[in-house]
Amino acid sequence: MRDVVILGSTGSIGTQALEIVRANRDRFRVVGITAGGGNRELFDRQVEEVTAHHPGAFSGLGAEASVEAAQLTCDVVLNGITGAVGLRPTLAALDAGRTLALANKESLIIGGPLVKQRAQPGQIVPVDSEHSAIAQSLRGGRSEEVRRLVLTASGGPFRGRSLAELADVTPEQALAHPNFAMGRVITTNSATLVNKGLEVIEAHLLFDVPFDRIDVVVHPQQLIHSMVEFVDGAVVAQIGLPTMLVPIALGLAWPDRVPDAETPVDWTKTADWRFEPLDDVAFPAVVLAREAGRRGSTAPAVYNAANEVCVDAFHDGRLLFPGIVDVIGSVLADHDVPSDQQLTLDDVLAADAWAREAATRTIGSMRTSTQR
Ligand SMILES: NC(=O)C1=CN([C@@H]2O[C@H](COP(=O)(O)OP(=O)(O)OC[C@H]3O[C@@H](n4cnc5c(N)ncnc54)[C@H](OP(=O)(O)O)[C@@H]3O)[C@@H](O)[C@H]2O)C=CC1
Ligand SMILES: CC(=O)[C@@H](O)[C@H](O)COP(=O)(O)O
Ligand SMILES: [Mn+2]
């Protein structure tokens, strides 16, 4: 039996984690849940269910409650919070010595060395589907045998469009992900390819592979979740239906697999799997993320914070879709990163706050932003 804490229990990741627990009560017991308070009705129902199975279970709303929950005595903390607000709960779970099943990629990306220094080998289990796929493909291998990591990308709902054709796309269109039902921020990030940019930085931090050996290939079906190319030319890929059930179940049970977590691909059916290169002109977010990742220090926190502000502005009708990555680029260009900085939590939080202000100012000064 594994005792599990779920941060962000009302979200896409959190509700799927609870589904996995429901189907495997002999394996998992929930000892704590937290959420943001945006969906009180669902959270109250979850609290009722969780306490019915474990009367002492912790529940709470907001970042402070999540920091507290991350330190509960348990086997694994699943961080399914969205955004930079997940950083302190991530650090709290690591400092408390808990295994961290990490969906909240933002905390690793913005914390960078801060998070890595605090994590023991194997303490972070990636839940992001691409990184779970890479972790699975690497099992049993040696790091010196790895030549490249290949992240797959759906290409989002606007795959194939030119930059000019992206100018007037709507939030509703941006939220129509081709394969996954996810929260608003990550779904918008999939449409801009910011999600893939963040994932390149995430892969660099998780697997210690340099940026020039991390590739991205567009694979619209998302049946291959990512791949590892080895020095002899062999490529190992993880394949499965495009759902999060396997990555979440593995995150909760690692290193064990949960039987029947998902239906396997049906190999008796005819299918075409497509692969395309990224279009860096229409979707410059990955190139920009590589730059931020290479600059390191606070640059990834600035990339992420500017993006979070832009996503809200796009959904509020204050920013056009291509403006999201334009603003991230302009805020990053104005950010001074001391080269040999010993990164502290205060540095990251200050850079995050600075980038939010800078992005808000930039959006306010863009005349085109109000023209939709
Ligand atoms: N969904 C997916 O398939 C995938 C998601 N991820 C990553 O997982 C994370 C979660 O994504 P997703 O589940 O889609 O997002 P959702 O928006 O669906 O859920 C976010 C969760 O975080 C909670 N939350 C928000 N603010 C706070 C806060 N201040 N304190 C505590 N909890 C808070 C929300 O609570 P409430 O809404 O009740 O306020 C909700 O439970 C993201 O980092 C995303 O990038 C990665 C791969 C796949
Ligand atoms: C399920 C998952 O891990 C998401 O990050 C998903 O991969 C989004 O896919 P794209 O960003 O490639 O559209
Ligand atoms: Mn992903």
Q: Is the pLDDT of residue 339 over 80?
A: no
Mean per-residue pLDDT for 244-249?
Answer: 98
pLDDT of residue 140: 84
For 225-237, what is each residue's pLDDT tens digit?
999 999 999 999 9
Residues annotated in a binding site for 1-deoxy-D-xylulose 5-phosphate = 105, 129-130, 154, 177, 190, 195-196, 199
Q: What is the pTM of this model?
A: 0.97
For 94-115, what is each residue's pLDDT tens digit?
999 999 999 999 999 999 999 9
Q: Is the CB of 156 under 6 A from ligand 2?
A: yes
Q: What residue has token string 């990741």?
A: 13
pLDDT of residue 371: 47
Spatial distance between the Cα atoms of 293 and 301, rounded to a whole number of angstroms = 10
In contact, 228 and 134? CB cutoff 8 Å: yes
Ligand 2 nearest atom to the CA of residue 244, by list position:
1
Q: Is the dihedral of CA 90, 203, 284, 282 positive or negative?
A: negative
Spatial distance between the Cα atoms of 159 and 181, rounded to a whole number of angstroms = 17
Would strands 76-79 and 214-218 be described as parallel, antiparallel, or unpaired? Answer: unpaired
**CA 65 to centroid of ligand 2, rounded, Å:** 28
| pLDDT band at residue 66 under the 50/70/90 scheme | very high
| pLDDT band at residue 337 under the 50/70/90 scheme | confident
Q: Is the CB of 82 under 6 A from ligand 1?
A: yes
pLDDT of residue 369: 45
Q: Is the pLDDT of residue 298 over 70?
A: yes
DSSP for residue 86: G
Q: Is the CB of 10 under 6 A from ligand 1?
A: yes
pLDDT of residue 297: 94
Q: For a substitution probing ligand 2, which of 104, 190, 262 has the most ligand atoms within 8 Å of its CB?
A: 190
For 317-333, what is each residue's pLDDT tens digit?
999 999 999 999 999 99
Asked if residue 255 has a cis previous peptide bond (ω within 30° of 0), the answer is: yes
Residue of 313, 303, 224 lying closest to 271 (CA atoms): 224
Nearest residue (CA) to ligand 2, atom 7:
129
Long-range CB contacts (within 8 A, 24+) of 287-291: 288/197, 288/325, 288/328, 288/329, 288/332, 289/194, 289/196, 289/197, 289/198, 289/200, 289/201, 290/197, 290/200, 290/211, 291/332
Spatial distance between the Cα atoms of 13 and 245, rounded to a whole number of angstroms = 9
Spatial distance between the Cα atoms of 324 and 331, rounded to a whole number of angstroms = 11
For 194-216, what is each residue's pLDDT tens digit?
999 999 999 999 999 999 999 99
Q: Is the pLDDT of residue 246 over 80?
A: yes
Q: Please give the radius of gyration of the chain, using alpha carbons only, rounded to the nearest integer.
A: 20
pLDDT of residue 279: 98
Q: Which tokens sit at 168?
A: 């007037």
**Element housing 299 (H / E):** helix 299-315
Mean of the per-residue pLDDT values for the chain? Answer: 96
pLDDT of residue 342: 85
Q: Which tokens sit at 53?
A: 């199975």
Spatial distance between the Cα atoms of 126 and 206, rounded to a whole number of angstroms = 8
**CA 132 to centroid of ligand 3, rounded, Å:** 9
User: Cβ contacts of residue 55 below 8 Å, gap of 6+?
Assistant: none
| pLDDT band at residue 367 under the 50/70/90 scheme | low
Q: Is the CB of 86 under 6 A from ligand 2?
A: no
Spatial distance between the Cα atoms of 216 and 8, rounded to a whole number of angstroms = 28
Spatial distance between the Cα atoms of 317 and 55, rounded to a whole number of angstroms = 45
Mean per-residue pLDDT for 264-291?
Answer: 97
Ligand 1 nearest atom to the CA of residue 106, by list position:
43
**Element housing 215 (H / E):** strand 214-218
Q: Is the CB of 247 under 6 A from ligand 2?
A: no
**CA 12 to centroid of ligand 3, rounded, Å:** 13
3 state SS of 30: strand
